[in-house]
A and B are shown apart, each in its own frame.
Chain A
Amino acid sequence: MNEVEDAQLLERSRRGEESAFSELFRRYQAGIHRYAVHMCGASTGDDVVQETFLAVLRQRGRTDAPRQTVAGYLFGIARHIVLQRLGSRYEPLTESGDDDVSEVASGALTALEHLTRAETIAAVRAAVQSLPLVYREAVVLCDLQEMEYAAAAGVLQCPIGTVRSRLSRARALLVTKLGAVHATADARRQ
């Protein structure tokens, strides 16, 4: 999306222009909703979206443009709301280095080989939901929202290397979890 246009929409929304706000909302509400649902559960999506955009509107006195992209700015607000809701459930894990296991993680998954698309989605969704929140957040932002690492680092307020590291670990965990799903399904069949 055009960043200049996004910034203009944000500024015009804060001045009370309905059309600009509607367009900004249309562009970002779904992504923020999905992020909130993955992090806090299905019942929180609407609330987080509403609180995020209300926060944007209530900062109407601000004349400076957000330092990051508008997407990063909006997700940053949404994340702040999500973390408030999660409270102590969101505990940053001890992370060591940027060990990259993405080669392993992005390899073929025999576990999904015999599953239908719907089964695959259900299995992956369950695996994502079972990830620790720190890793789940990286997967949601980078893989599901397709946010660039730099933008995700801005939202997560951490170095890009940390984003890469979390994503690699998350993917490795997903592969492991999906393998376990496959093994369980095989055992049931036998």
Chain B
Amino acid sequence: MKESEGRPSLDTALRAMAEDEAQLGASAGIEARLLAEVRSIAAARRRRMAIAACAAAAVVLFALWIGSQRFLPSRSSEARVAEVTTDFLPLAYSSVPSTSLQVVRLAVPRTALVSFGLTPPEPLDRTFTDTVLADVLVGDDGLARAVRFVRPAADQEQMP
């Protein structure tokens, strides 16, 4: 700080002005508006990641679904009683949280069983001898969390 003979210098005067203005700044609403923009960026980023994850999951499912185009609607719980199923086996996105899950039944090639270390059973289903049924757990974000393989029980074979 420059002072000459006790008189205020320009530096001192400018510093006093800077100190006087130190508390001035943008109004509180500006930060709130900008934070909303930050939140929208974060949401868009999450959406992009979810889409990328969905794409990756689609690739996994496609690998499980080679050669099969049949989409079978979910059966009623009574119909499932007479089925033999494996436990749900986790897929790549099993650790991603989801608020709700849906079971989607697919017909997948028998070779998909091998990729999970399972031995393909002898064909019981007369209609789809080259495929097996699988229930895929899909989250509300479209990501597949787990899969289980389904084998109709012997007595189901007799049902129309």
Query: CB within 8 Å of B: which residues of A?
Result: 13-18, 21-22, 25, 29-30, 32-34, 37, 45-46, 49-50, 53-54, 57, 60, 105-110, 112-113, 117, 120-121, 123-125, 128, 139, 143-146, 171, 174-175, 178
Contacts and interface: CB of A to CB of B under 8 A. Distances in A.
Please classify the interface of chain B as helix (H, G, I), strand (E, B), loop, or mixed, using the class held by over half of its residues.
helix
Contact of B17 (A18, A33, A128, A171): A128
Contact of A120 (B2, B13, B37, B44): B13
A109 B25 contact: no
Interface centre among B21, B26, B41 (most CB of A within 10 A): B26
A49 B27 CA distance: 10
7 contacts: A16-B42, A18-B42, A21-B34, A49-B26, A106-B2, A106-B9, A121-B13
Contacts of A21: 34-35, 38
Contact of A33 (B18, B25, B35, B38): B25
A144 B21 contact: yes
Given A46-B30, A123-B13, A144-B14, 10 more contacts: A13-B38, A29-B26, A29-B31, A45-B24, A57-B38, A117-B16, A121-B13, A124-B14, A144-B17, A144-B21
Interface of B: 2-5, 7-11, 13-14, 16-18, 20-27, 29-31, 33-35, 37-39, 41-45
Interface centre among A13, A50, A123 (most CB of B within 10 A): A50
A30 B21 CA distance: 9
A120 B31 CA distance: 33
A120 B17 CA distance: 8
Given A30-B25, A46-B27, A53-B34, A120 B45 contact: no
Please classify the interface of chain A as helix (H, G, I), strand (E, B), loop, or mixed, using the class held by over half of its residues.
helix
Given A18-B39, A22-B35, A175-B10, A108 B3 contact: yes
Nearest to B14: A143
A57 B37 contact: yes
Contact of A17 (B4, B13, B16, B42): B42
A134 B156 CA distance: 88
A109 B13 contact: yes
Contact of A25 (B3, B14, B31, B41): B31
Given A29-B31, A121-B17, A108 B24 contact: no
A30 B9 contact: no
Contacts of B30: 29, 46, 49-50
Nearest to B7: A108
